[in-house]
Chains A and B, each alone.
Chain A
Amino acid sequence: MMKLSQLEIGETGIVKEFTDLEMSVKLMEMGCLPGEEVRISRIAPLGDPIAISVSGYQLSLRRFEASTIILQ
């Protein structure tokens, strides 16, 4: 089971599901939903949060939040 938080910079994955209902609602509103391709575009200087590119724009989220996203 691969989590989004395990990817390195530049790696891509496709969202499969979420482990946290509350977080999933917020992520989906921002266009990060099952079937969507995500790519880690950068990591903050102190290692957290991270920025991903999803559905054509950049989204920043904390590592913990990224760990609730399961990839295919």
Chain B
Amino acid sequence: MKTNIRVALVGNPNTGKSTLFNILTGLNQKIGNFPGVTVDKKTGFCTLPDGRTAEIVDLPGTYSIYPKSKDESIVFSVLADKSKGMVPDLVVVILDASNLKRNLLLYTQVADLKIPVVVALNMVDVSDKAGIKINIDLFAKKLGVPVVPISARKNTGIDKLKSAIAFANSVPLQQDTIDIESIAPGIIAQIKGEMQVENPYVALQLAHQHETLSYLSTAESDRIEQLEQEHSFHSQKAQATETIARYNFINDLLYDTVKKAETAHDETISNKIDKILTHKVFGFVIFFAILLFIFQAIFSWSAYPMSLIEDLFIWLQAGAAKILPAGPLSSLIIDGVLAGLSGVLVFIPQIAILFALISILEDTGYMSRVTFMMDKVMRKVGLNGKSVIPLIGGFACAVPSIMSTRTIENWKDRMITIMVTPLVACSARLPVYTLLIALVVPNRNVWWIFNLQGLALTAMYVLSIFSAVIVAFVMKFILKARERGYFIMELPVYRMPRWKNVIFTMYDRSKTFVLQAGKVIIAVSVILWVMKSYGPGDRFAQIDKQYAQPQYTKTMTPDSLTKVIASEKLENSYAGVFGHVIEPVIKPLGFDWKIGIALISSFAAREVFVGTMATIYSVEGDADKMQSVQQKMHEAKNPQTGEPVFTLAVAFSLMMFYAFAMQCASTVAVVYRETKDWRWPAAQFAYMTALAYTASFIVYHWLK
């Protein structure tokens, strides 16, 4: 789309910035990456009253231009890096009218970068009710920029904001806020001169942030480091001086533009809710009840849509089998691609429900209370209150959860969270568990109400949380802290969830999951299909030749003959040969070569297991009904002993392997993307595989 003006949206967290972004752009938005960093870049388009189109970029919410987390560091880069052409023509700073003082700190910093600014004064309805009277004309005059009162939630003032954007000056007219040069005169002057930076505040920020700014060259960064030494520039002291000066400016500004009604501290609704939700006893009870509800919802609400999707694929496969001529191509499409796709798409209902519920919890402000309540416990095991969110999200999928660790400011806490999140029982393990549990655990009740199969599944989930906590505790002693940890966090006022936002998040996350996991799973199913359908040398021809001999064709029915040929071929295919090669390694865990194939192919994604089992045991078609896979696995016998293959010991040993092993290519990729170092995913892969092997070994020999 051709755009005439580029606008960046800047503001504190919890000020309604995302709501405003959604109103301005509608669903006309896309999520990409900022060049060189993995921070999500949300952009959208908005038609202005004069007919021009504005490209709106939603920058991560931040309290100041000094970044505390990975996400926040993008704000200054976008506003100052002239080289990539990202610098916006106009910045819309969104201020929460009911909390102006703190919000204005970021405004003064952005204003000093001397990019044209428009102020959107949000939640004026709330501040009105709270008795805060703002003289908007005087306020705008003192700042020297247009100030538009809006209410993003009630969708008022948006047209005025759009015209303010359309008619904004192309040159910055804002008043100076503080005397920047006096903070560090020597170094500012020298950076301005040497690096062709005109703006003193940009120069000062370069001195502060040069180590983390990706757009500076190493030589430039080293030179700034040298200048810091020469001028004995102390970053924190300079920042403290600057912050105090800014608040002095803000206090002067607010003194005659804002009048606050003197009201006693009366109990707000939010406070009353907090009294219950963060109560000593009820707080935890409610939290666990909510978690229970989420699990219940994931399993029970998704059952119907999941079986619909399964049926759809069975129908598609049957249809394809009729239309396509029999041969390798139709087999590739039906047993390879369609079987693989069905394996991914069947998870959409679960993923969507989980993301919807989590985004409701975040949107209402409850998640930050969970962090608040859990911080002490989490800190004991080397994590941080904020690690709770990725860990809960891990029950759905580790990939978005690991991306959500960006909000954890402390490096060590963030790394440990990334390392243990894949241990949490994600939804991809669910089909593996249900299949194996149904196979070996009797479906009956104990102690009146508890279903044995349900108990076994619950045990797997509890185990996953325990293992994550224990591994985190061990890593606490292995990793060295890079900086001090702290937990200074806003507890936003409770509010109703924005349903549009919930639906959008749900849609967006499910789409990402399908695209990311889908590619891997289709590729794996195709590779597996090839490995299963072809064998080395002329082994297949030999089998055909052998069974064409009269002693077979005369004595066996055609049906059982094809069955024998097919299983002989499987054993002699590339997959079969490979399974036999690894069999000695996995024999101590109770697995045979067929399970070995499933195990190895599951390293791409765990959910491949069911499909692989289906393919391996589908010597006679009908590969995709769970029931039939279960039936076949149930009937599978060890050819030497005649005993069933899937005993209690083997099934639980397998579940242990799936509980601990890092069998997910997408997670490996996302860990690399987030850490920018191959050693992290490598270490994670190694420790998880070792853990999986040990746990399987112990469980197998214990139950055998």
A residues with CB within 8 A of B:
21-31, 33-34, 39, 41-42, 44-49, 51, 55-62, 65
- Chain B 368-393: CB-based contact to A (< 8 A → 1; otherwise 0): 10011101110000000100000000
Contact of A46 among B239, B274, B371, B373 (CB under 8 A): B373
- A58: chain B residues within 8 A (beta carbon): 490-493
Q: List 13 A-B contacts (CB under 8 A).
A: A22-B236, A26-B68, A29-B66, A30-B488, A39-B265, A41-B274, A44-B278, A45-B280, A49-B375, A57-B493, A58-B492, A61-B488, A61-B489
For chain B, residues 335 to 375, give those with C-beta under 8 angstroms from any C-beta of chain A. Answer: 368, 371-373, 375
> Which residue of chain A has its CB nearest to the CB of B260?
A56
Q: Given A25-B240, A29-B63, A39-B265, does the pair A49, B247 have CB atoms closer than 8 Å?
A: no
- Chain B 312-350: CB-based contact to A (< 8 A → 1; otherwise 0): 000000000000000000000000000000000000000
Contact of B284 among A29, A45, A60, A62 (CB under 8 A): A45
> Is B117 positioned at the interface, with any CB of A under 8 Å from its CB?
no
Cα A47 to Cα B375 with chains together (Å): 10
Contact of B373 among A21, A25, A45, A56 (CB under 8 A): A45
For chain B, residues 478 to 509, give those with C-beta under 8 angstroms from any C-beta of chain A. Answer: 484, 486-493
Asked if residues A21 and B376 are in contact (CB atoms below 8 Å), the reply is no
Most A Cβ at <10 Å: residue of B265, B486, B492: B486
User: A19: shortest Cβ distance to chain B, in Å?
Assistant: 13
Asked if residues B271 and A46 are in contact (CB atoms below 8 Å), the reply is no
Asked if residues B375 and A29 are in contact (CB atoms below 8 Å), the reply is no
User: A17: shortest Cβ distance to chain B, in Å?
Assistant: 11
Asked if residues A44 and B101 are in contact (CB atoms below 8 Å), the reply is no
- B239: chain A residues within 8 A (beta carbon): 25
- A33: chain B residues within 8 A (beta carbon): 243-244, 247
Asked if residues A25 and B236 are in contact (CB atoms below 8 Å), the reply is yes
User: B327: shortest Cβ distance to chain A, in Å?
Assistant: 65
Contact of A62 among B377, B486, B491 (CB under 8 A): B486
- Besides the known contacts A55-B101, A60-B372, A60-B487, 14 further A-B residue pairs in the complex with CB atoms under 8 A apart: A22-B236, A22-B484, A26-B488, A29-B105, A30-B490, A31-B101, A33-B244, A44-B372, A44-B376, A45-B373, A46-B373, A49-B372, A51-B491, A56-B98
- B637: chain A residues within 8 A (beta carbon): none
Give the top 5 A-B pairs by smallest Cβ distance, nearest first.
Answer: A31-B102, A58-B491, A46-B376, A45-B280, A29-B64
Asked if residues B63 and A30 are in contact (CB atoms below 8 Å), the reply is yes
- B259: chain A residues within 8 A (beta carbon): none
> Is B33 positioned at the interface, with any CB of A under 8 Å from its CB?
no
> Which residue of chain B has its CB nearest to the CB of A52?
B491
User: A7: shortest Cβ distance to chain B, in Å?
Assistant: 15
Contact of B491 among A28, A29, A56, A59 (CB under 8 A): A59
Asked if residues A49 and B376 are in contact (CB atoms below 8 Å), the reply is yes
> Which residue of chain B has its CB nearest to the CB of A24?
B240
Cα A65 to Cα B102 with chains together (Å): 19
- A62: chain B residues within 8 A (beta carbon): 375, 486-487
- B492: chain A residues within 8 A (beta carbon): 57-58
Cα A60 to Cα B492 with chains together (Å): 10
Cα A61 to Cα B371 with chains together (Å): 11
